[in-house]
Amino acid sequence: IGGLEESNSNYKGFAISLIIEIITSIFAQGSIAADLGNKKHDISHFFMVIDPTLFISLKQFKNHLSDMLGRIKKSETVDGKPVTLPGEKEQIALQQNSKYGIDLDVETLKEVRKICADLKIDF
């Protein structure tokens, strides 16, 4: 969604971003994204549930959604890397961490060791 030129629907991308900003800041009475560096930490959230069966049958919805996501996944990318959908990177990381353990940097590992020592538990 979006693009550098009007012909590439850049207004659609901007409109969607603006709608998300409105519902997650103004509706929820929190800071707008541009003001989040104000050190007030008043990040807000907005949750909405839509029943797709109000618009389309569940079977049709699942079929159309599956088709759309499949087409997105098959899209060509500039760098040749596969397209990932929201949540996929986290699922891959979960699978890797479950299989091989969590990779910790040296500083984090030092902190974990210190916490274990402070709590008198085995590392």
Spans of all domains in the chain: 1-48, 51-83, 90-123
The tokens for 120 are 């008198």
Task: Give φ, ψ of 111 to 5 degrees.
Answer: -65, -45
Helices (H) and strands (E) counted in the chain, each on its own, are: 4, 0
Q: What confidence tens digit (pLDDT) does each residue in 10-68 have?
A: 567 778 888 989 998 899 888 888 887 777 667 788 888 999 999 999 999 999 999 99
Q: What confidence tens digit (pLDDT) does each residue in 61-104 have?
A: 999 999 999 999 999 988 999 999 999 999 999 999 999 999 88
- pTM (2 decimals)? 0.57
